[in-house]
Structure 1
Amino acid sequence: MKTDTILITGATGTVGSELVRALANRGATVRAGVHSVIKGDRLKHLNPEVQLVELAFERPETLVPAFTGVDRVFLITPFSPEQVAVARQLIDAAKAAGVKQVVKLSALGAEAEPGIQLGRWHREAEQYLAQSGLSYAIVRPSSFMQNFITYHADGIRQQGAIYLPLGQGRLSYIDAQDIAAAAAAILLDDPIRHHGRAYPLTGSEALSTDEVARIIGQAAGRDVRYVDLPEDAARQGMQGAPQWLVDAMMELNAIGKAGYAATVAPDLERLTGRPARTFAEFAQDHRTAFAAA
């Protein structure tokens, strides 16, 4: 029996690569949209049956071949000021190709008004998708546990410290594996069951950064401390980054510090049938990333 072909845009990213793995492991026909087929070759190591297709947002001519023959799409857009335009472009391509379901990766709290800039970008793209006439669903995850590898592993390895302006704010961090598991559950189900739904996805606990540092230290067998940065110092630490990025990250940190990212939602367990992975499980799995340099 023919299975639906599922296109994942941004397939080499944190969530995209985990979703490629999750879907391929369940026997789905996966098409991985990558900026460069050569750079995306590592996805073939996850499963040799994965189809690689060039999908470059700045080259619209790549969209028609990428979407041709696709039944469902998991929509990941780049974190940039152009992400709404990119989302519109991809949604239009999905509609033109006759795709029967689009599942969009958004962010926890994107529906809040007026919200922060990152949320407003996601909300605008969500609204465009809702008005497209396509069957759709939205997943809104909290902050990724993997961010502590992507952005903080060097500081942890070299200095035994995590530098963030989060005060004692608690965040319900989620493992990208769980986001992928929830997305896979939607994409492999009847689209009618999920049409128009938005799912907040979080971990099962809200942790302070002091607690995160302690958990990472226990997993890595070393002392790790949290340094609560003043806002000015945090901005200085991002010197050289585009101003839009600095402002967006400071807004995101501010809502975390204020306690607005501590929500623990039941949707992940309802979709997957299992509880969210704990931060301790994540830290143990990735303990070598935090080992002393």
Structure 2
Amino acid sequence: MAETILVTGATGTVGSELVRALINRGVNTRAAVHSIIKGDRLRHFNPEVQLVEVDYHRPASLPLAFTGVDRVFLLTPFSDQQLIINQQLVDAAKAAGVQQVVRLSAAGADMEPGIQLGRWHRQMEQYLEQSGLSHVILRPTSFMQNFVNYQGQSIREQGAIYLPLGEGRMSYIDAFDIAEVAAAILTDDVAKHHGQAYTLTGPQAVNHTEIAGIIGQATGRPVQYVDVPETAARQAMQGAPQWMVDSMMELNALGKAGHLAGTTPAVEQLTGRPPRSFQEFAQEHRHELMPA
């Protein structure tokens, strides 16, 4: 009997790419979504994808989502409730007899003392590790897609990237590669990866002046990088919860200091091909970064 894989966070940056990757492999894929209407766009990958509505504020919605599931991709939302949500998802997986959980964490989660985001991720990793479930941890660096999702408007309208990152280099990764790694593990022998933690990076570390140049070349128009002072960056995030502002500024400080520049061979080892470069990403997404 064919396995069924549940993807949580299925409409997000990584989740939607993973649904695509699993469908392309002919896997029975169940997508956990907040709204069936919102999740319906996933059906363009394959009309047979199963959609199941999950409300993290209603734990009673979880047992149905996990019923008949063999493996799970576990992605928790960026929320002040993420520790509780992670616990509920792990407990539901255990109760359903799931064979394997692949959890999306973050690079640096194992750093000591680390930053708050990393400490939260590590706590969530540890809860999974202590559950007794066969598990794999994926720790990707920041996503290349951030330049479409969060910087896209300023790139399109002003030809500018505004970030408080100085000339710090970062090894951004394409969400496509994260999904390909997750799909490879979720369709491989469970025992082969049990207990492993993989740090996933792009092929090279680039600074944001270089990124602006790469995007400019791909879109055929000048793009500049503007290094934003910390005070101005905090002001720009006014209205966001304080925990979120503080967490993002801690992460930015790590990037500015060059602590997020390391690369690993994990993507190529797990997928059999090198990770996508920022040049490849920019070419593929250039139309999303051009003026309307």
- Normalised by the length of structure 1, the TM-score is 0.99
Looking at structure 1, the residues matched to 160 and 213 of structure 2 have their Cα atoms a distance apart, in angstroms, of: 10
Do residues 52 (structure 1) and 51 (structure 2) align? yes
Structure 1 residues 183-198: aligned runs within 5 Å: 183-198=182-197
C-alpha distance in 2 between matches for 1:107 and 1:116: 11
User: In structure 2, what residue type is equivalent to 1:88?
Assistant: Q
The aligned counterpart of 2:261 is 262
Q: Write the mapping of 1:65-104 to structure 2, written as runs, cut at 5 A.
A: 65-104=64-103
Q: Structure 1 residue 238 and structure 2 residue 237: aligned? A: yes
* Residue 37 of structure 2 is aligned to residue 38 of structure 1: yes
What is the CA-CA distance between 1:75 and the residue it aligns to?
A: 0.1
| Counterpart for residue 20 of structure 1 | 19
Shift in Å, 1:241: 1.3
CA distance in 2, matches of 1:9, 1:287: 28
> Residue 122 of structure 2 aligns with which residue?
123
> For residues 199 and 224 of structure 1, what CA distance do their matches in structure 2 show?
34
Percent same amino acid among aligned pairs? 68
Distance between the aligned counterparts of 1:125 and 1:139, measured in 2? 12
For structure 1, list consecutive stretches of 5 or more residues without a partner in the other structure. none
Helix, strand or coil at the partner of 2:225: strand
Amino acid in the other structure paired with 1:122: H
Q: Deviations over 1:204-250 (max 9, x none)?
A: 00000000000000000000000001100111111111111111110
Using the alignment, how far apart are the partners of 2:72 and 2:10 within structure 1?
A: 11
Give, in angstroms, the shift of residue 292 of structure 1.
2.6
Q: Distance in 2 between matches of 1:261 and 1:246?
A: 19
Partner of 1:137: 136
Structure 2, unmatched stretches of 5+, are: none
CA displacement, residues 16-59 of structure 1 (integer Å, 9 cap, x when unaligned): 00000000000001000001111100001111111000111111
Question: What residue is the counterpart of 2:274 in the other structure?
Answer: 275
Report the count of equivalent residues. 292
Say which SS state the counterpart of residue 259 (structure 2) adopts: coil
Distance 1:146 1:6 in 2: 25
SS state at 2:198 partner: strand
Q: Deviations over 1:175-202 (max 9, x none)?
A: 0000000000100001111010000000
Taking the aligned partners of 1:147 and 1:54, their CA distance within structure 2 comes to 26
- Cα deviation, 1:105-128, whole Å, max 9, x if unaligned, reads 000011111111111111000000
Aligned to 2:218: 219
Q: Which amino acid in the other structure matches residue 100 of structure 2?
A: Q
How large is the RMSD of aligned CA atoms in angstroms?
Answer: 0.7
Matched to 1:268, the amino acid is V
| 3-state SS, counterpart of residue 206 of structure 1 | coil
What is the CA distance between 1:281 and its match in structure 2? Answer: 0.7
Number of the residue aligned with 1:248: 247
* Residue identity matched to 2:21: A
What is the alpha-carbon distance in structure 2 between the residues aligned to residue 144 and residue 213 of structure 1? 15
Partner amino acid, structure 2, of 1:19: L
- Cα separation, 1, equivalents of 2:115 and 2:172: 19
Report the Cα distance in structure 2 between the residues aligned to 1:252 and 1:246, rounded to whole angstroms: 10
Q: In 1, Cα distance between the equivalents of 2:55 and 2:3?
A: 23
Alpha-carbon offset, residue 99 of structure 1: 0.2
User: CA offset at residue 288 of structure 1?
Assistant: 1.1
Q: How many Å separate the matches in 2 of 1:106 and 1:130? A: 13
1:6 aligns with 2:5: yes
Secondary structure in 2 matching 1:127: helix
1:170 Cα deviation after fit: 0.4
Counterparts of residues 153-192 of structure 1 (less than 5 Å): 153-192=152-191
Report the AA paired with residue 49 of structure 1: E
2:107 is aligned with 1:108: yes
SS in 1 for 2:98: coil
